[in-house]
Amino acid sequence: MCGVFGRSKGATPQTAGPVPSQVKGGGKGRPTPKRRESERGRRRAVSAPKDRREAYRRAREEQRAQRTQMMHGLRAGDERHLPPRDRGPIRKYARDVVDSRRSVAEFFLPLALVILGFSIFGTSTIKLVGSALWLAVVVLIVVDTLVLAMRLRRGLTRAHPEAETRGVILYALMRSMQIRRFRLPPPRVKTARFGLRRR
C-alpha cells in the first residue's frame, strides 16, 4: 500500500543498490599504478638496439659516461670514482709520501728541454756543459728515486705491516715524475721537509 499511495511519515528511504562513486573532474580516471608496475614499465621502455651499429653507439656512450665520471672522481679525489690503480689506503699513503716532498724527477722535462737547447744551439763549450748537466740530472734522479723508495718502504712497513705492497713503489715513482700541479688525484698535503702536513 505504501508503494501505491506514497510514503508514510517516518518511513526510511530504501535504495535499490550501491551508489556509484563519482569521478573528480580533471582526474585521471584510473587507479595509481604500484611502484613495482611502474619500474617494470620503465624497464620495458628501454628497447633493445636495432642493429650492430646502434649497439656500438650505445656502448660508446656508456664508456664515455664512465670515463667522464672517473675523471671527475680523479679531479675531486673521490675514492668511490677513482680507477682501480688509485684506490685503497696503501695507494693514498704512497701519494701523500710523494706529495710531501720535492722530487728531482718532476723537473726532468723542463731541464731536458733546456739541456736540449744547449746541445742544439750552443757552441762547443755550451754543448759540453749541457752534456755535463744531463749526466748530473740523471744521477740526481737516480739518487732521489732511491731515497724516495727507501722512505716509502720504511713508512709502509710501519703504517701498514700486513698490507700487500706489490707495485706501490713503482706507482709512487711514476707519480713523482709528474709535475705537482698536474697530478691526479690532486695532492692532499703540502710540501714539507719533515712529516706530512694536510692542506
For residues 124 and 149, state if they share a domain.
Answer: yes
Same domain, 76 and 118: no
- Mean pLDDT, rounded, for 174-188: 90
Domain end point (choices 87, 103, 132):
87
pLDDT exceeds 80 at position 11: no
DSSP 8-class letter at 186: P
Assess whether 98 and 190 both reside in one domain.
yes
**Does residue 137 have a pLDDT over 80?**
yes
Can you give the residue range of the structural domain that contains 154?
88-194
The overall pTM is greater than 0.95: no
Structural domain count of the chain: 2
Largest CA distance in the chain: 136
Written as one letter, the residue type at 126 is I
The arithmetic mean of pLDDT across residues 27-55, rounded, is: 63
Q: Is the pLDDT of residue 190 over 90?
A: no
Q: Please provide the average confidence, as pLDDT, over all residues in the chain.
A: 77
Measure the CA–CA gap between 25 and 73, rounded to whole angstroms.
50
**Residue 195: which pLDDT band, with cuts at 50, 70 and 90?**
very low
The reply to whether 102 and 144 lie within a common domain is: yes
User: Do 64 and 72 touch, CB atoms closer than 8 A?
Assistant: no
* Predicted pLDDT at 42: 53
- State whether 179 and 169 are in the same domain: yes
Separation of alpha carbons 106 and 108, rounded Å: 6
Residue scoring higher pLDDT (82 or 196): 82
Which residue has better confidence, 140 or 77? 140
Residue 111 has phi, psi (to 5 degrees) of -65, -35
